[in-house]
Each structure stands twice: as structure tokens, then as C-alpha cells.
Structure 1
Amino acid sequence: MLETRKFLRLPAVIEATGWSRATIWRKVKSGVLPAPIPIGPRSVVWDAAEIAQWQQRCIDISRGAG
């Protein structure tokens, strides 16, 4: 059985990262932040689990565990 995934829109990613819209797109382009998933011609979302994993990596690195 497939697990339901939660998607985040840009405002939620802004809230989760504390970064501006422009910074988020720069970080995506540079590979720092996971790439969004296109869900329509002008709509993208981020996988909440990928954002959570990115957050955990940041925490681990800051604590010397990464």
C-alpha cells in the first residue's frame, strides 16, 4: 500500500527555512535545498519529508554529527 505524502507550497517552505522566496530559489538552483515537484503548468510543491530531512542534516552539521 502506498503511503500518502504531504506537499508544501512555497509559503510553508519560506516558514520552514526562514529564507526569502529569492533565496529559496537560489538554494534550489545550487543544490542546497531539495528541488520542487511540478504539479501543474504553474504550480510546484516540495515534499515535506525531503524538507524535514534537509532540516535534520542542518541540525546534525551544526552539532558536529554530520
Structure 2
Amino acid sequence: MSTINQSLIRLPEVLKRTGFGKAWIYRLISEGRFPAPVKIGVRAVDFVESEVDEWIQSVIETSRNNVA
């Protein structure tokens, strides 16, 4: 069992952090360009906070590298 503390966040928090809409997030997921959610119930999913944060950081780094 992993000792890493990983928090789960709901879709509204993902939308807030990325600035994207729900449809766009799910499109990115279907294209393999955004971390997939974790199923936590019959009709509920969450996202691993660290994966979302890493994705945001990679977008920032890619953007800055393309400018330079």
C-alpha cells in the first residue's frame, strides 16, 4: 500500500483551476490529454489533485518553452 498522501477533487474544482468548461475537460480526457478521473461511486468521479496540478504545471512549462 502506498504511503503517498493523495487528495481527490471534484469536477467543479478542476473547472475552477483550469478555467475550462466541463465539455472541454471531458474532450481532453477522451483524447488522452488530461488526467482521467477516478470512479468513486455509481455516478460519481473525482480527480487526483496531484495529477491535475502536474498537468497544469506541464501546460505552463510548455507555453513558456514555446515562447522562448
Gaps of 5+ in 1: none
**CA deviation vs aligned residue, 1:14-63 (integer Å, no higher than 9, x gap):** 00111111111111101111000001111100000000110110011011
- Report the RMSD for the aligned CA atoms in angstroms: 1.4
Name the one with the larger strand percent.
1
Percent identity over the alignment? 35
Q: Distance in 1 between matches of 2:55 and 2:5?
A: 20
Matched, 1:54 2:55: yes
| TM score, norm. by length of structure 2 | 0.88
Distance in 2 between residues matched to 1:20 and 1:3, nearest whole Å? 30
Q: Distance in 2 between matches of 1:56 and 1:4?
A: 19
**For this pair of structures, how many residues does the alignment match?**
65
Superposition deviation, residue 4 in structure 1 = 2.4
Separation of aligned partners in 1, 2:4 and 2:62: 29
Once residues 53 and 45 of structure 2 are traced to their aligned partners in structure 1, the CA distance between those partners, rounded to angstroms, is 17
Unaligned runs of 5+ in 2: none
TM-score normalised over the length of structure 1: 0.90
**Which residue in the other structure is 1:34 paired with?**
35
Q: Which residue of 2 aligns with 1:18?
A: 19
